[in-house]
Amino acid sequence: MSLTARDFKAEGYRSLMRVAYPFSDLDVFVGANGVGKSNLYGALELLRSAAANTLAGDLVRQGGLQSALWAGQRRGQPELTLAVGLEHGATVYRYEVVVGFPQRVTAAAFENEPQIKTESLSLVTRARTVRLLDRKGASVMARDGDGRPADLDIDLLPSETVLGRLEDPSRYPELDAVRRTLLQWRFYHGLRTDADSPLRRPCPAVATPTLASDGADLAAVFATLAHIRQDTADLDEAVDRAFPGACLHIPAPGRWASFGLTYPDFPQRLFEAAELSDGTLQFLGLAGALLSYRLPPFIALNEPEASLHPDLMEPLASLIVRAARRSQVWLVTHSRELADAVAASGAGKVRTVLKRGGATQIEGLTRFGAFNDDEDEED
């Protein structure tokens, strides 16, 4: 079952006091430094963490729950809420998780660790809404594939998500579809281009349809396009557009996959990945992410323009627009030039992110998750 991202909500996370956002095929966010663009990206990435059952640990790695919580005034206990709607035809699956501090320390929890307070999954149709999963603390109810509800006796730590722990696709197919969809999401932020970057090294020659989030299998992604799909036309076009006259070489792999570039000034000299400039390698990594054999259902890019020359903004925008025809794409950028190049294609809408009273807001977005300009178009 293929699920498409419909909307998401983040409440109480860093500068996101409350944001509800409706997805499109291509969403572009641009704004000044410090307005909270990366927090939008980070909130989405935490939804994937919930599916991977790493939500508590990832929050700790970000500096702990205290630093992840909204710092302004709030009512009640400090908590953060993350929610996403995934649709299949006329059916929407809505997942929500609420995280907070433990009210009391138990043998199964540490004093300051993030804990799951509530967790739910609902099936929403035009006719009705059915709760498929309802978790409050240690109490868990789930409906099986036949719609029968049952209280579950599951060994569940307070820091664990049911979404990540209850792996039984035959008994809970809807829960499994949501988990698998979120696990397929890819987040690309700051692909490393230093001397020890995994992008610079050969990788095992295994058919690889989708680029890993750290880009470590880039050579295998290229080899899959060249020697399994046997179609590098889009990739060759992207390279020539970014680096006129350059040619990407992808040798038939043995145990290891590799790649290199030749340039018109030195047509007989192959520059291997370890020799390429940071900007060139960054662009090739993004090309691998956006042109791979099988794109994930959702791709998030956070400041992909880093290390890139301004002349590469238009070729990068072309890659992003092309990917949005096969996947949903979320782009967070400082570069107005990149945002304008995407907007000029007519694909997606550029949204301005700003901050008022310490809270991140998206210009024109109402608190109910609709845009004023969309309402005007309907009228």
**367 and 342 in a common domain:** no
Q: Are residues 243 and 338 in the same domain?
A: yes
Q: Going by C-beta distance under 8 Å and a sequence separation of 6 or more, which residues neighbour residue 159?
A: 55, 56, 57, 109, 113, 114, 115, 116
Contact assessment for residue 289 and residue 187, using Cβ atoms and an 8 Å cutoff:
no
Whether 224 and 114 share a structural domain: no
336 and 206 both lie in a single domain: yes
Q: How far apart are CA 106 and CA 42, in angstroms?
A: 29
- Examine the domain organization and report whether 86 and 227 are in the same domain: no
**Per residue in 210-259, pLDDT tens?**
999 999 999 999 999 999 999 999 999 999 999 999 999 999 999 999 99
Domain at 276, CATH number: 3.40.50
User: Does pLDDT of 74 surpass 80?
Assistant: no
**CA 319 from chain center: how many Å?**
17
The total number of structural domains in the chain stands at: 2
CA distances from residue 18 to 27, 43, 69 in whole angstroms, order as listed = 19, 11, 12
Which distant-in-sequence residues (6+ apart) come within 8 Å of 16 by Cβ? 10, 36, 39, 40, 43, 70, 359, 360
H or E element in which residue 282 lies: helix 278-291
Please provide the size of the chain in residues.
379
Q: What is the pLDDT of residues 273-326, one digit of tens each?
A: 999 999 999 999 999 999 999 999 999 999 999 889 999 999 999 999 999 999
Which residues span the domain enclosing 51?
4-25+32-184+351-378
From residue 349, alpha-carbon distances to 35, 59, 320, 322, 363 in Å are: 19, 31, 13, 15, 12
Residues 356 and 339 placed together within one structural domain of the fold: no
DSSP-derived secondary structure for 55-101: HHHHHHHTT-HHHHB--S--SSS-EEEEEEEEEETTEEEEEEEEEE-
Q: Indicate whether 135 and 273 sit together in one domain.
A: no
pTM of the model: 0.93
Structure token digits, residue 340: 């304008």
- Residue 377 clears pLDDT 50, i.e. is over it: no
Q: In terms of domains, do 334 and 366 share one?
A: no
Q: CA 182, CA 368: separation in Å to the nearest integer?
A: 23
